[in-house]
Amino acid sequence: MSGTENQAVRPAVLFETADDLDAINRLYRKNRWSDGLPIVPPTKARVEAMLKCAGRPRDALVARVAPAFGAATVEGIAINAVMAGCDPEYLPVLIAAVEAATAPEFNLQAVQATTNPVAVMIILNGPLARTLEVNSTFNCLGEGAWANATLGRALRLVLRNIGGALPGDMDRATQGQPGKYSFCCAENEAETPWEPLHVERGFRADQSTVTVVGVEGTINMNTHTDKGAEVLDMFAQTMIHPPSNEYIFGGEPWLILGPEHAATLARAGYSKADVKARLWQLSRMPASLLPPKDLERVQNARRPELGEFGAEAMLTISPRPEDICIIVAGGPGTHSTYAPSFGMIRAVTRVVG
Amino acid sequence: MGHAQAKALGVPALPIVAIDHPFGVRSRDEVRAMAEKAVDDVARVMSGGGAP
């Protein structure tokens, strides 16, 4: 348990327990200090080892985490990193992720407290992702890589234990989703035919960054076509789904392209900006697909952007083509992922360290 | 949610005006009526009348 009080920035509280893993996990389970999985006990020795990689004083305040606005100190973050099983070298990534997730444009209060299933996905770019062996290839959104699993889990623990987002309490998610346990990968920069995400967002290629994204889930897109235009048609048809926050609020859809699909598009002459522009056009959705009550929601939410419109309108998925976000990740295969965003949110990137 | 957040923020006794959930499925007129009722409750709370 972080022991950080919600309002005061105080050192962690030490608990004396039997030196017994089962007993410790019973304590964490009873107090709802875990995500439902067993934790690595954050002993003083483990936390001190973690803090050696922090690069900042242990009592430095990184952020206040909504909705409880608990104080995420370096020490508090380190404790949750230990609990998740992180290597100490991961801590600067987690600190940057907390900074990113608490930036105003990420809208963390809504992300944490909504009935929507939104999970916070972490994307790593730059050399540190390779040094830390963050998986960007086979099964990069699945299980099996220590860094991916524990970093994603550690951020969730911070959001719960410091942010206070406990299900049924201040986390009001109707159903949630598996990505709320852990959701982290790196971009496959060796395989992308375009500039990687962090360069596109204004950072140098040799900088290491973490980007946080609020996504409703993952939808697989499997197409064997070798024609770029047909790949885009398939993607756009997947993106068009009426019960989507993207169309209601004007979202920020994320596409995680498998390297084969990215190569097909690049061979067909599409730049990343071309892909976005084409998808923005192709994914326009007839407003008539929405029941009247949902159409009214879209009208209320997007009137400042779109003006007055009715069921005859073609709704764009996002306000601008450049709001569509693309990374390349995964191994060989004809699969890509559409990750619908929470809608009223924008991804945030921060430099690690 | 409001009570949980008030407790987390260190003001557990904060008077809170509750609005029925969900209101996303209600008509605009119904939501307007709820808002008008809430305004009265907010005024009562702010004038020291306690939570409704």
What does the pLDDT look like over B1-52, one tens digit per residue?
888 888 888 888 888 888 887 777 788 788 888 898 899 889 888 888 766 5
Q: What is the mean pLDDT of residues A66-71?
A: 95
**Of the spans A16-20, A251-255, B10-14, B26-30, which averages the highest pLDDT?**
A251-255
For A267-270, the CB contacts below 8 A with 24+ separation are A267/A228, A268/A227, A268/A228, A268/A229, A269/A228, A270/A228, A270/A232
Residues in Cβ contact with B40 at an 8 Å cutoff, skipping those fewer than 6 apart = none
Alpha-carbon distance of A34 to A80, in angstroms, equals 9
Look at residue A312 in the predicted model and tell me its pLDDT: 97
Look at residue A6 in the predicted model and tell me its pLDDT: 47
Whether A328 and A255 have beta carbons less than 8 Å apart is answered as no
Cβ distance A297 to B4 less than 8 Å, yes or no, reads: no
CA–CA min distance B31, chain A (Å): 13
Cβ distance B5 to A67 less than 8 Å, yes or no, reads: yes
Q: What is the mean pLDDT of residues A82-86?
A: 98
Q: pLDDT band at residue A40, thresholds of 50, 70 and 90?
A: very high
A105 vs A353, higher pLDDT: A105
Residue A54 phi/psi, 5-degree rounding, is -70, -40
- Return the structure tokens found at B8: 């987390």
Whether A118 and A215 have beta carbons less than 8 Å apart is answered as yes
Q: What is the mean pLDDT of residues A55-59?
A: 95
pLDDT above 70 (res A4): no
Q: Which residues of A touch B8 (CB under 8 A)?
A: 6, 67-70, 164, 170
DSSP A155-171: HHHHHHHTT---BTTTB
Interface test with A, best of B5, B14, B28 (most A CBs within 10 A): B5
pLDDT above 60 (res A2): no
Select from A6, A172, A296 the Cβ nearest to the Cβ of B1: A172
Residue A315 phi/psi, 5-degree rounding, is -90, 130
> Closest-CA residue in chain B for A300?
B28
Alpha-carbon distance of B42 to B17, in angstroms, equals 6
Residues in Cβ contact with A22 at an 8 Å cutoff, skipping those fewer than 6 apart = none
Alpha-carbon distance of A249 to A345, in angstroms, equals 9
Cβ distance B10 to A69 less than 8 Å, yes or no, reads: no
Q: What is the pTM of this model?
A: 0.93
For chain A, give the mean pLDDT. Answer: 95
Cβ distance B25 to A113 less than 8 Å, yes or no, reads: no
Q: For a pLDDT cut of 70, what percent of chain A falls above it?
A: 97
Q: pLDDT band at residue A5, thresholds of 50, 70 and 90?
A: very low
CA–CA min distance A70, chain B (Å): 8
The closest alpha carbon to A278, from A241, A227, A339, A330, belongs to: A227
CA–CA min distance A170, chain B (Å): 5
Look at residue B4 in the predicted model and tell me its pLDDT: 83
Q: How many CB pairs (< 8 A) connect A and B?
A: 29
Look at residue B51 in the predicted model and tell me its pLDDT: 60
What does the pLDDT look like over A146-204, one tens digit per residue?
999 999 999 999 999 999 999 999 999 999 999 999 999 999 999 999 999 999 999 99
Look at residue A328 in the predicted model and tell me its pLDDT: 98
pLDDT above 50 (res A351): yes
Interface test with B, best of A5, A108, A169, A344 (most B CBs within 10 A): A169
Q: For a pLDDT cut of 90, what percent of chain A falls above it?
A: 93
- Dihedral of CA atoms A58, A64, A68, A71 in degrees, nearest 10, equals 20
Find tokens 């060796």 and name the residue: A190
Cβ distance A170 to B25 less than 8 Å, yes or no, reads: no
What does the pLDDT look like over A118-157, one tens digit per residue?
999 999 999 999 999 999 999 999 999 999 999 999 999 9
Q: Where are the alpha helices (DSSP H) in A60-145?
A: 74-84, 91-101, 108-113, 127-131
Look at residue B50 in the predicted model and tell me its pLDDT: 66
> Closest-CA residue in chain A for B1?
A170
ipTM associated with this complex: 0.74
Angle of helix A44-51 relative to helix A74-84, nearest 10 degrees, comes to 110
Which amino acid makes up residue A213? V
Look at residue A8 in the predicted model and tell me its pLDDT: 57
Q: What is the mean pLDDT of residues A311-322?
A: 97
Select from B8, B25, B28 the Cβ nearest to the Cβ of A164: B8
Q: Which residues of B touch A164 (CB under 8 A)?
A: 4-5, 8
Q: What is the mean pLDDT of residues A337-343?
A: 97
